[in-house]
A and B are shown apart, each in its own frame.
Chain A
Amino acid sequence: MMGNTSDDVLVGVRLAVVIATVLLGVLFLVRGGALSDPARRPAWLASLFGLLGLSTLDIGVPIVVLDSWLGGSNLWNIMEAVAATCSFWFFYRAVQLLVDEGRKRASRLWLLGVIVLAEIVAFSMIEDRGATSVNFVGEHITDPACFVYLMIYIVTVGVLSVLPIWAARHRIRSVFAVFLVGYALVAAACLSHVYYLIAAHYALGTPAHHEFVRSIFYVLFLPGVLALVIGFTAAYIRRQQKKLQPVWRMRALRTGLILRKVAGEGSLRKIIGALFSEEPRERVYHDAVALHDSVYRDDTMFTSDERRLLERINSDLLRHIGIDQEIASIAEVVT
């Protein structure tokens, strides 16, 4: 189904699909709670439809098997189109939420409904869809209904790839830089596919030329999807790092134990409880203040390991607050 792509490129594209599917599957599962959060829900829906779309690429699940579940009349193809349309719709909706920062904007789900309905109606008008075929598009592109159906699908996905780039043009940084790469590839893929659809439908050029142009779509589109999924995954990992703070949890355990050793403060249960603290960074700060107090109060001496830990805590706390040099710059130094 990926045309006459060379073996090396094909392996790369297939690898992109496998990685994107695995990442998206994990995101779909671990972000299950996002369904009840209006800010996180669109990205979760995008992952759900993205998984459905990726499952139609004859990788992992053979098309023949998938289509047999759907009735065996190439419904896998409309499933791919609808799933991709919905996935890109909700991903764009997530980008809008990101860019708008709290401003309300209508979700226009009715428009998605109209587009999906148009795809389904056009697809259903294709004459004699025949038995399951991985080359369904190539075999039916001369049918006007198939041409209209695919144009609606590809132009919609193309537009949904350009709109986010425009919406976020003023904040191309961090995760958005990765999204930009993904969206640019997908938009270019859609453009190439529009050319293919026109050329193939109106029989412009040779079949070999058509196949070559068609293969360009997959070579651009699937790495583009992978880039979007990687950006999505990076945002998720960063959120978890901030929420879980694994380093600060271990530090909370260590400072708790040191405090117990030097000042006799805290039960073991309370110290172990630090591992599950809601804000372990705060807990460490609290303990660090107590440890510095104990230096003045009890002339406490720390081991070199403990000193290094306190130094790292000090510098990481300052980095989090972002005030490295500020006190020095606003305070008078009295000698």
Chain B
Amino acid sequence: MTKGLRAEGSLSQPGAEDLAAVAAEMFKRLGLEEGASVGTILRHAEREYGKPITLQALPDDSLGPLTGLFRDTPDRGYISFRQSDPLSYQLHCIFHELGHAVFRHSDCELLRQGGFNLSEAGGLGPDLLNARARGLVRDPSELVAEEFAYTLMRWLLKSRLDREEDVFG
């Protein structure tokens, strides 16, 4: 996830319905049941991705301008996020990167072309400190991943009535 992604990649974008449909279809494929924990969501996503996924909480300076990062390697995927961000924001960033994993997006083309080091303890190396990845915000894969994150979070945040509230409420 890059800075400012949400501002430009929100549902107000043209083609938002397509994005929502794609994200909803993937969410359905994960087959999550009510009450699923983050660990359970991660396991379902790993099944779709085909490899284990490791979450990494990084110091802020490791990610430079990014709020989250997904790296695909031959034997596993890595999702990195900032340690200091509020937990709910971390979760959003994790779900965004999880979107890249389940949709099997290759990792950041722009960063690779720029010659940034993507292997350093899950971070991007000092070369990225001045990088601006804003070019990615209109990348369809970023928009799909962002919509996937919202789809997951909306599902988690939905109001659920207890049975007694359903019957006596």
Contacts and interface: CB of A to CB of B under 8 A. Distances in A.
Interface in B115-151: 121-123, 150
Interface residues of A toward B: which range?
35 or more
B157 A240 contact: no
Contact of B86 (A245, A292, A296, A297): A292
A317 B123 CA distance: 28
Interface stretch (B20-28, B56-64, B97-105, B106-114): B56-64
Interface in A219-264: 231-232, 235-236, 238-240, 242-243, 245, 263
Given A97-B167, A296-B65, A317-B88, A333 B39 contact: no
A73 to B, nearest CB: 37
Given A281-B159, A285-B157, A296 B3 contact: yes
Nearest to A265: B7
Contact of B169 (A40, A101, A318, A326): A40
A47 to B, nearest CB: 10
Contact of A326 (B37, B81, B92): B37
B142 to A, nearest CB: 13
B40 to A, nearest CB: 10
Contact of B88 (A42, A285, A332): A285
Contacts of B73: none
B94 interface: yes
A239 B88 CA distance: 25
Contacts of A301: none
B168 A332 contact: no
Given A94-B168, A293-B4, A317-B88, A334 B121 contact: yes
Interface stretch (A4-12, A139-147, A306-314): A306-314
A326 B57 CA distance: 13
A124 interface: no
Contacts of B83: 333
B11 to A, nearest CB: 9
Nearest to B81: A331
Contact of B168 (A235, A265, A330): A235
Given A39-B166, A331-B81, 10 more contacts: A98-B168, A236-B165, A242-B161, A285-B88, A289-B92, A296-B4, A296-B67, A311-B86, A323-B38, A331-B56
20 contacts: A39-B166, A40-B169, A231-B168, A235-B167, A235-B168, A236-B168, A239-B165, A239-B166, A239-B168, A293-B5, A293-B67, A296-B67, A311-B86, A317-B88, A318-B88, A321-B156, A324-B87, A326-B39, A332-B55, A333-B57
